[in-house]
Structure 1
Amino acid sequence: MTPLKYLQAYPPALQDKVRELIAQQRLGEHLAKRYPDHHDVQSDKALYAYVADLKQQHLKNAPGIDKVLYDSKLDVVQRALGLHTAISRVQGSRLKAKKEIRVASLFKAAAPEFLQMIVVHELAHLKEAEHNKAFYQLCNYMLPDYHQREFDLRMYLTWRELPETNR
């Protein structure tokens, strides 16, 4: 049985369905049918505008974001797809925290739904630091099918790691 590292927390029946799609070399086809589009958010400037727009729609009272960018080292170095940080700096006699969101650069070529899911996840961290019930309720508020998109994103990551001959 092939271990599915991105899908380990899901029920065995779901994992078996994914394994079946892999065995039939249809996982990529399945994902392409569900998510056929590509987005135009290719630069850091466009990503900042995209994130700011989502924040304005759903989290008007959350702290502002100082920097948003694609990071090519994220998924390789930190095994993360997105990252939110608050960098504290001393400016005169004040301590200022700059909020940053970094998105793995693999999302430049991913479906717009996957980019949106990652951005929603990182925006939710502005209000909820931990991955708890309140955090996931906030994600669902901003993106009602959040859990389905997270599962599909995990299938996409599984597909990306398959050898070319099994795609």
Structure 2
Amino acid sequence: MHPSLRYIQGYPEHITTPVGQLVESGRFTAWFKQRYPDNHTIKSEKALFDYTMAIKQRFLKKSPPLSKVIYDSKIHLINHALGLHSYVNRVQGNKVKSKNEIRIASVFKNAPEPLLRMLIVHELAHLKEKEHNKAFYSLCCHMEPSYHQLELDARLFMMSLEQS
């Protein structure tokens, strides 16, 4: 198996075989670029926060507030993840305050917008569902109907970065 196919190793053969053939023929990067010709323009962390809050406001109005949404250059290397949702509970007097943060791997600063949206949706879903269970994925699909395809495409994006 080609090393870059590790991003899609759990996928069925009808997906991995054609992708592997594109990689072997050297046409994968061009194919991906044709599929997603443009990258998003959400470069600043303020723009990323505003973008995330717009999605949160539309689908998760009653979920806990977010204190921070940032691009993080350490995520991909340390966690083998593309995004990270963290929350910290702090006791202040007789109240417990929780802070929710979303961190997006900085490689997605230069990604197609649908792939960034899929990551944001994934991390926002963790505000309601902590585990990757059926309810979690149902919520992801409610917020982004193409969620599963975009999740695969995000993996293909990572492969295209490695190829180029």
Q: What residue number does 1:44 align with?
A: 45
Q: What residue number does 1:124 align with?
A: 125
Identical aligned residues as a percent: 48
Show the 5 A alignment for 1:1-167. 1-3=1-3, 4-162=5-163, 167=164
Shift of 1:14: 1.1
**Any idea what SS the aligned residue of 1:6 has?**
helix
**Maintained 8 Å contact 1:74/1:82:** yes
Normalising by structure 1, what TM-score?
0.92
**Any idea what SS the aligned residue of 2:66 has?**
coil
Rounded Cα–Cα distance in structure 2 between residues aligned with 1:61 and 1:33: 39
Rounded Cα–Cα distance in structure 2 between residues aligned with 1:60 and 1:33: 36
Post-superposition Cα deviations, 1:96-148, rounded to whole Å, max 9, x if no partner, equal 11010011111111111110010000011111111111111111111111111
> Between Structure 1 and Structure 2, how many residues are aligned?
163
Structure 1 runs not aligned, ≥5 long: none
Rounded Cα–Cα distance in structure 2 between residues aligned with 1:61 and 1:95: 18
Rounded Cα–Cα distance in structure 2 between residues aligned with 1:38 and 1:23: 25
**88-97 vs 113-122, which deviates more?**
88-97
Normalising by structure 2, what TM-score?
0.94
Rounded Cα–Cα distance in structure 1 between residues aligned with 2:90 and 2:105: 25
**Maintained 8 Å contact 1:81/1:104:** yes
Rounded Cα–Cα distance in structure 1 between residues aligned with 2:96 and 2:134: 31
RMSD of the alignment, in Å? Answer: 1.3
Structure 1 runs of 4+ with >4 Å offset: none
Rounded Cα–Cα distance in structure 1 between residues aligned with 2:7 and 2:102: 22
Structure 2 runs not aligned, ≥5 long: none
Rounded Cα–Cα distance in structure 2 between residues aligned with 1:76 and 1:150: 19
Question: AA paired with 2:37?
Answer: P
Question: AA paired with 1:147?
Answer: H
Rounded Cα–Cα distance in structure 2 between residues aligned with 1:115 and 1:81: 10
Rounded Cα–Cα distance in structure 2 between residues aligned with 1:13 and 1:122: 28
Shift of 1:92: 3.2
